[in-house]
Structure 1
Amino acid sequence: MNLPFAPQSFAALLVMVMTLAHGSVSAQESFRVELGRDGETLGDMRPVFLKFESRPLPAISPLEVARRYQKLFESSDEPEVRIDALNRLNNIRNRSGEDVGFSEEREAAIYEEVLESYESILAKGSFSGRLDELLYQMAKAHALTGQPEQSIARLKQLVGLYPNSELVPEARFRIAEAAFSAGRYAEAEAGYRQLLEHDSHQELAAKARYMLGWSQFKQGNPAWARASASFTAVLDQQLPDHSALANPPAHSMDMLEDTFRVLALMASRQSDARTLADWLDGRESSAWQHLLYDRLADLHAVERRYERAVLVNNAFVSEFPGHTASPDFLAQSVSYWQLAGNTSKALAARDDYIQRLGAEARFQTMTPEQKGLWAQYSRFLADHYYATGTDLSSRNQTAAASEAWAKAAHYYERLAPRSEQAGELLHLAGDARLLAGDRTEAVRNFRAAAYDHRHGDSRDSAWAAIRIVREDLELASGENRTATLLVLSNEEQRYAEAFGPDQRLSGLRADLANRWYDLGEFERALHYASSTLTWERAGVTERYAAWLVTARIRQKNNEFGLAERAWRQALPLADEASQDAESQRRSLLEQLASAIYQQGEKAARAGDATLAVAHFQRVEGVMPGSEIAIKARYDAANTLLRASDWLAAINELQRFRIDYPSHELTPETSEKLVLAYQESGQGLKAAEELLNRSETLADPWPTRLRAAAIFHAEGDSASRNQLYKNWLAVAPTPDSADEHVQHQTMRQRLIESGDSVIAVREQLLARERASQWHSDGTLKWAADAALFFGAQTAERFAGIALVHPLEQALARKQAAMQQAQEYLQEAESFAGDGVRSEVLYRRAELYRTLASDLMSSEVPAELNEMEAMQYQMLLEEEAFPLEEEAMALHARNHERIPTEGFDEWIQRSLEALATMHPGRYDRQLRWMSWTTDTNQGGS
């Protein structure tokens, strides 16, 4: 737009405003056909848009040729010459596919100008060029000048006069298309069929076959059988084999999608899967037939007719049991019942999947993904029935619980051979069998898990089998008891050979020794000692030696109570039996103290804290002040800790610290006191203990940070925050991901507690920018900080009024907008999809605000009325792209609904769109989606 009267400042302003616009103008395609969009009823439905493509020209430069013909057209006064030049220009454009010749706006005016010349030449009946091309160009001219009826009339004349012209296929297609658009569907059907019967134009034939189906479909139910045949022919042509199905032609994707959609709709309005079967009956197997069933099922699911959707899935599986997609249909039924909220039917659908596909021959035909789903469903059902059994048992429904556990075991056992976790699954099966009361099968599963399918907890599996046999031993009697004891001994030997030393195994061996002794097997370790002690005439030395042997063997076998009794029996005999009585007596006391101490350890391992502490405290009475007595005192405190007797443990630890201030174990009491304080609910004392200890350390900060963590847990934000701020003030740059996350966590907590919020937010954002390490949490916090500053900047941006001098105000506003954009984009770079909806909304609002502020800005007072009006019009022109950009960003938020779901910021975008474009967005919408990918959803 030329404004010779505009002042220089006004022109400069226009340049600045234009730099804010981001809209673009694209040339529209001339003489094209658009068939509309979906309606809300079947009658309103429209096929997808069909695009006509240009044909290639030889490798020459069409631009120069077009330039010459354009010049000829403009300089000649002869109608025939001008028409011929115009025809040749259009031929060059159509064949080259390049934008040559007149612009679209100029072309429309040209055709309106020469339309009279067309009629004149045609009336003369003489034309040096081809009359079929003349008729075609006249049709195009009528179309461009808004005369569709005359355009179709010329196309019909072209077909009638020149049936062999290469332009006839397209003319016939456009004639049929016009009939379709006018709602004359029977006429359109005849036209499309005529094109298919007479012309071999491959591209138009594909489109005509597709539109033939639509013409039949629009005639209603009586014509749907013909429509289905036409549409399936489209699928046969476009997807002739599995290779084409795997890589369908990109240009046909919309047509294929539309074809599946309308076939599914017709079937859903008739007899569902039965209709599909009738359509496919008598045909050879097609690569695409399973997609037709899938689309029909999906249609029902989208419209919440889940039971009908499942029936369609089942119909396909029944009709094609061996099809590679049958497992996917069965899995899809699981998903549909889940969407319907029908848990019991979803369980049954999973079981159906497992049962139908569980046979080895059928299982081996499945894809790895389908096999994985079979395993997933099996594990889900196993875990479900295990949990169900546990729940029923808690409600004293014993019989039902046993039945559920038995089902769980069945699924675990069936899954195990097909799983890399066979050992873990068999262990679970054993546990379920045991809970169900089937002890024999439980032992068999535990053994298999322990020895045949080794896994990380094979020791526990083996021990579970031992535990069951030991429990059986308690119930056995007579010969059965001996046989069970032999089984237990074999289990012990097999366990030892497979896994080596084990603390549980040590206890088992002691138990076996006692049991064999109870049965009269004295050869195991105690034969000679027992025979000596039972001999009434044995002397002091012999009995002393026997008691020593007995004590040593008992102690070696971890039978410390018997060992203590033996040491005590030997102690009074030492004076008579030993030449060095004093030395022997001291040695015996050390061994006795050790036996008592070990009894305390054994009781502690068994979980009997009271007995363990009593034994540990008895040691000091045997050897007061000795190293073992001091260690026993220390272990008594540890046992109280393990038993969670926190107050008693605190007292014992404090006494130990007072009694033995210089002992090497004393420093370790601090950490144990921290634990006891924490566990007894005295977290603040624990923190104080840590802070006191930190004063003695060369590097106090690790300990102080532990104290800070306790202050955090205890809710003492002030103490925690002070430690955080002190640490962050001196902390070096993190050299690991853990340290970075730790520092950022501290800053986030300071922010959440309202302590130095702005400064800490800036530090957090700066550290995350500079760091090479990130976590989901730190990225989220940094994104929140960026959004916070972005929102602040956006508020400042919105508050900048566009007043005179406008150049300065606009510069400030643009700078604020740029800074807000940078913050928002930074937030998105940190959090991605997590904040994309909010970022899109806020960015869109920046553009919308700028457009609004431009429109409402002051008009320069020095402009006259005409200048002011043109100034306002220019502002509107510059604001329009900004509004378009705002709408585009809001629309992108809108488009995220099918993939990302709905949230507050999408809602705000929809509200903004409803305000900006009420005709399109201020209405109720219903979202539907479909994908050709097979459903691999889990449970």
Structure 2
Amino acid sequence: MTRWFHSLGLGVAVGLTTALAQAQDEAPATLKSLEERQIEITPSEPREAGLEEMRENYRELLKLTQDPSERNPILRRLADTELAIASQADDPREPARRALNIYQRLVAVQSYREREADLLYRAAHAADLAGDTAAGITALTRLIDSYPDFKLIPEAYFRRAETRFVNGSYRVAAEDYTWLIERGEDASFYIQSLYKRGWSYYKLARHQDSLSDELEVIRQLVGTDGIAEDGTLAVSDISQASAEVAQDALRNMTLNFALLGAEYTPADFVDQQQAQPYEYLLTQRLMDYYLDKERYTDASETALAFARRNPEHPQAKALEVASIEALEAGGFDKPALEAKQAYVTRYGIDKQSWYGEDPLTVDEVRERLQEYLDSITSSLHAGAQETGLTVDYEAAAEWYARYLSIFPDTPRAAELAFLRGEVLFEADRFADAATMYEQVAYDAAPNEKAAEAGYAAILAWREAAGDAAATDPRVLESTQRFAEQYPAEENAINALARLAEDRYRAGELATADELAQQLIDHQPPPNNTQLTNAWRIRAAAAQDAEAYADSETALRWLLNNATPQEGENWEQQLATAIYKQGEVLVDAGEDEAAAEEFLRLRSLVPAGTAEDVRATALYDAAAAQIRAENTGAAISLLESFRSEYPSNELADEATRKLAELHLEDGNKLAAADEFARISQQTQLESAQRLDAAMQTAQLSAEAGSTSAAIAAYESLLTQHSPDFETTIEAQHALIDLHRDGGDTAAADDWRQRLIDTHADNAGAATERTRTLAARASLKLAGDKRAAFDSTRLSLPLEQSLPAKKDRLQAALDAYGQAADYGIAEVTTAATYHTGDLYYDFGQALLESPRPSELSGNEKAQYEILLEEQAFPFEEDAIGIHEANVERIGNGIYDEWVRKSLAQLAELLPARYAKTERMSDGIVTVE
């Protein structure tokens, strides 16, 4: 008799679990065929050899046998042969189906319970090979129900459970497994049933029940000693089949935990089951499963939960790391970063115990901390650069600080400090950034970032100072320190140049000058542009400090190194600097030296440039020579100035100074020329121009240049609209000039003009104007007198006398006009000449020629007649002279009074012949 499941061992269980499992979350299938079983064949059963021949023999025998009692044993043997053939065939279905049919027929007619139970068992086997699971289950169920005491009933239960499991009937399969399990640990199929019920519960979503069964399988097979330190099962001491069952049970547990998730964790399970030794095993497998399924956050949380729950477990610290690695593997950068930060905080900052040791003394921890800090800082830095948010830069800066705090002696210290400076800068914490940069540049050991950090510190201080960067002392100190420490760096020169320019623009010229000098002295030297700016600053600073010699030095350099376009500007400034040196000498009272300095400007600055300064310097040189009383030099310089700069605003002033200098030098004619120019200076007030014109005329006259004087006076009258008095004076001068020049007619013409001018302005007359007008009138009256005198009486008298009388009257009128001005000297003269005219006219009558044809008597009568005509004129003459003499009583006793007195003495000798001067008056002696 064949025993289908005879001596079923763990080897069969292994085939049952592993060979048919198709995926990690699939439950294992049942046995596929008899090939997986060891079949014991009784002596009555056919041997393997000749099975096909035996099958044919049984078939032939059946043809010859009609008796049912004989046929049934043959049929059974034929069925057993078919079953054997099926067990060995590659495709067992056909022979197995034939065997199943025979067994079913035999069961239907079998009358012995023992034989029926065996046939049911064999039918179930054949149904399995034929793939007719329904027939197999029917056979096994009938066997179990009908023959509960049959020796193979446990095997039948297990076979039915397996078939049900494969068919997906997990609930009833679990019931069959339970029947077997309840027989106890020593019963057959206990471990296999626990294991398969665990899978059935898994399929029924009874996860906690499944976990319990599979844990028991592991306990039975490997115990607690079979768990390796690395979280694997130590199965070297058990059979391969048992090892595989244990591993698969563990896999089932992993699947259950994966489905339960946070609802029911390995920690919850081991606490409930009092199975703490298995917690790490379950955690590690679950984490591996999550990783394989790319459930990275679940893997991370699982690992970290164990580590936090079991901090002293040998694998706890490793799981913390694994938790982080899971997040990184899944690309969960932010959670991974946060996990690393937490790790560093625990062991680097808080220094939580590392299995009783200071974590920073453990090489493994130090390496991990540095690795994480590298990752944290670089990640936060990159993130901040991406977002540009201040808060992100702040976070990066804080972690750089923590890195340096934990590992102050790290070889990366300088680099990290520099990077911290970078993020502080981006976070707008400029002062903190600058301090960090300076630590790298000046306090840290020599490093490749030092020079860059030194320059970055300058930039940070600038940002910290904002609008006040140009004058901030921190910027100055940092710049100078950088230039001193790293002179060969290009940025050292750049920083000095920029700060010098800043200080210059801010008006801090003294500091700017110092920086510019540092730049000039710097080695290696700055470029041409920087050098030019430095000298420009030096020039400006020197000018501001009134150190004009220094300014000149700087400007000369600039001029010597300037482009043609720039040269004019520097020449202008150079001229100014030299000029200012002259001004300093002027202020010091060193006028001759000042003049030389002003003139030095003209030799150093070419004509055509800085003309305004050149002109001013030339003028001021002349002014200095004036003060030094070097009149000749001053005149020469002023004449050069006026010649070179006729349009200069000081040209007119130069003319005025020249006029004064020529006067001082006694050169009246040259002075007159200058005053003539002054009189044409339209910017002067008319009164000033008039005064200059008057001086021109007067000086010309004084210099003996009559023609020049006449021209000057005439110009004065025609071009300057002089006032009344000045006009009178000018006309008077012209009278004198023409008179002295022998041009009597011109002189008389100007006398008449003077008289007319005075008449037109009688209301404005003064003593002086009346005097001049009176004198002019007197002179013109004299001309009338001369005309009178030149007119001779002739015969016939009646013809010549009217002309003589007309000229007499004209002269009398003229003298009367002269006397009307009320000027004593003129009045007395006019009075005298009037009296004299009367007397002369009378005498002319008396001395006129006598007609020759008169008889003696007629001659006598003619004489008497002439005397009668002449006498009134003599009487008038006496009266006029007496009137003139009477002025003596008014204190007037001039030449003309004396002449009148003398005339009276001749005309009235008895009365006026004797006079005597007494004291200050004239006394007439009766």
Q: TM-score, normalised by structure 2?
A: 0.39
Higher relative contact order (CA 8 A, sep 6+): 1
